[in-house]
Structure 1
Amino acid sequence: MTETSKTSPESQAGGPANAVPLNRTWWERNGRTTSIWAGRAALVVVFVGLWELTGGWLFDISFTSRPSAIWTRLVEWNADGTLWVNSWITLQEIIYGYLLGSFAGALLGFVLASAPTFYKVLDPFIMALYAIPKVALAPLFIVWFGIGMDMKVLLAAVTVFFLVFLNTAAGVREVDRGLIDAVRLMGGGRADIALKVVLPSSMTGMLTGLKVAIPYALIGAVIGELVASNRGLGYLISNSAATFDTAGVFATLVVLSVIAAILNFLVGLLDHRVSRWKPAEARS
């Protein structure tokens, strides 16, 4: 009598023999992410601990300060409202500049790259403008818009614009021509090609630009405040440096880093949401 082998329901149904079981443990589902975050936390703890311990005998705290002094400065600024007032001003400049520059960059990148001949005509002029150091625009923007919030918002927007524009245009120009030809063969018009092929395919480039542009939005806003301002995080950096308050400079940089991390997290959520159609390997 021959022995019959037992087969799994997946094998009987024609499914893959090495399919991942659905009843995985918590560690199998979240172990990799947990390990990554634990490694990051350990790296921060080690770095801060070494900084605190070596300050004073290996480094001159007049130039490097200490994490404990930075924390004390943050607590003081939080108590008297300095931290929140100036952070809110800079945060508005960053968000408005980021949204304005991102919208203009994505829109123009999509439109101009969809017209290859026109894009090639404008390409050298766009690259010439992109090559201009944005800090050099600050004095000109002061003349045009004054030293109020508008100047910082526009400086941040200009800084963001080119990064989003170039990445969006690159995404549009790298669209698979075979997909475009297939839509045309099925009777699709220009609107179908633009909305159903070019736009989804160019999202990767646009989202890359949005991610890369986050720190540059901070740079644009802070540069504007460093050049001419009496409020904002850039002003706190300038004022702390002028009074040789190294702890205040580092405290402001910590706040800017937190703002950048939060904005990057929000853009990451957007990326995850619009990339759900991609295979899991492509999204990881």
Structure 2
Amino acid sequence: MTMRIDEGAAMGTSAPVSRAVKDFEAGLARRKLLVYVCQFAFGVAFLSFWQWASGRLIDPFFISSPAAVFGKLYTWLLNGDLFNHLSITLYATAIGFAIGSAIGFSLGLLFGKFAFLAEVLDPYITALYSIPKLALAPLFIIWFGIGIESKIAVSASIVFFVVFLNTFSGVREVNPIFIHATQIMGASQWGVMRTVIIPSAMAWVITGLKVSVPYALVGTVIGEFMSANRGIGFIIAQATGLFDTNSVFAGIIVLAFVGAVINGLLKITEGHLLRWRA
């Protein structure tokens, strides 16, 4: 005869704990919904005030209006200009982001692992990091020409330092006890790197990637401002020369939307890569 035991009843805590957990999760869900509602309400209120203020408080020449800006975006969407120019900007941003992230992550691991190398090169890295990246754009144009390569170079140079510094800091913050314990169990240097150092530093790396995304976009747009015949930066620069405020704001909104979408995707990726911390 098998005796069935209700462990929750035996402990005397199952029902209260279960209710508490459900209440807590429900509270989180309500708070999340409230945040979304407030975000939407704020956006509607901002656009409404902008539309009202245009022509009443401020000349539309300076601030345009949501109706005119979204009308311009609709025109770009219909004639294909939005896709053509946005694809060029996104391509340069993606390639620059990938190159800068890969080099920054690799060198961050290397310098974090070998402290002596980091100490030797520290003043040189600090000096390079202190250079305004905008000042490098003309140099990259001279080196790589006025094509898309110079925009990729500007974007990659900005992303590199952000990812490098975050990766380096993350590696240096790894608890030595974990490293020694893994080595005692017979792990190789690569095994320690793969199972301890990289996972422990991943939170720092993801933070660096999230921070560097807007800068990658900024780097590309800066390059397009200086020399380009395609891209969102080119549209904004051309519109500025023609005093076309509608196109300037439309280009800015496109860049803001792209940056928000990319950051949202990075948050999803962060949750997946760092799920072990939950």
Please indicate, yes or no, whether the TM-score normalized by the shorter chain is above 0.5: yes
What is the 5 A alignment of 1:10-29?
Answer: 10=8, 12-13=10-11, 18-21=16-19, 28=27
What is the 5 A alignment of 1:47-126?
Answer: 47-126=46-125
Q: Aligned partners of 2:9 and 2:116: how far apart in 1?
A: 54
Give the AA of the match of 1:181.
H
Give the AA of the match of 1:180.
I
What is the 5 A alignment of 1:132-147?
Answer: 132-147=131-146
CA separation of 1:190 and 1:17: change in aligned 2, threshold 3 A: farther
Give the AA of the match of 2:138.
P
Question: Per-residue deviation at 1:38?
Answer: 1.1
Give the AA of the match of 1:262.
V
What is the 5 A alignment of 1:1-284?
Answer: 9-10=7-8, 12-13=10-11, 18-21=16-19, 28=27, 30-279=29-278
- Which residue of structure 2 aligns with residue 4 of structure 1? none
User: Matched residues, percent identical?
Assistant: 39
Question: Per-residue deviation at 1:32?
Answer: 2.3
Question: Per-residue deviation at 1:11?
Answer: 5.2
Q: Aligned partners of 2:179 and 2:87: how far apart in 1?
A: 46
Question: Per-residue deviation at 1:184?
Answer: 2.8
CA separation of 1:192 and 1:14: change in aligned 2, threshold 3 A: farther
Question: Per-residue deviation at 1:23?
Answer: 6.6
TM-score by length of 2: 0.92
Identify unmatched segments of 5+ residues in structure 1.
1-7, 280-284
Give the AA of the match of 1:175.
V
Deviation digits for residues 8-50 of structure 1, max 9, x if unmatched? 8535257667424477799556322211111111111111111
Q: Aligned partners of 2:9 and 2:194: how far apart in 1?
A: 41
RMSD of the TM alignment (CA)? 2.1
Give the AA of the match of 2:176.
R
Q: What SS class does the counterpart of residue 275 from structure 2 fall into?
A: coil
Give the AA of the match of 2:265.
L
Deviation digits for residues 153-198 of structure 1, max 9, x if unmatched? 1110111110001001100000011212222333333223211111
Q: Aligned partners of 2:212 and 2:8: how far apart in 1?
A: 46
- Which residue of structure 2 aligns with residue 5 of structure 1? none
Identify unmatched segments of 5+ residues in structure 2.
1-5
CA separation of 1:15 and 1:210: change in aligned 2, threshold 3 A: farther
Q: How many residues align?
A: 273
Q: What SS class does the counterpart of residue 160 from structure 2 fall into?
A: helix
Q: What SS class does the counterpart of residue 260 from structure 2 fall into?
A: helix
Tell me which stretches of 4 or more aligned residues in structure 1 moved more than 3 Å.
13-18, 20-29
Deviation digits for residues 212-244 of structure 1, max 9, x if unmatched? 001000110000000001110001000111111
Report which stretch shifted further, 179-188 or 259-268.
179-188
TM-score by length of 1: 0.90
Q: Aligned partners of 1:137 and 1:229: how far apart in 2?
A: 16
Larger proportion of helix: 2
Q: Aligned partners of 2:15 and 2:28: how far apart in 1?
A: 20
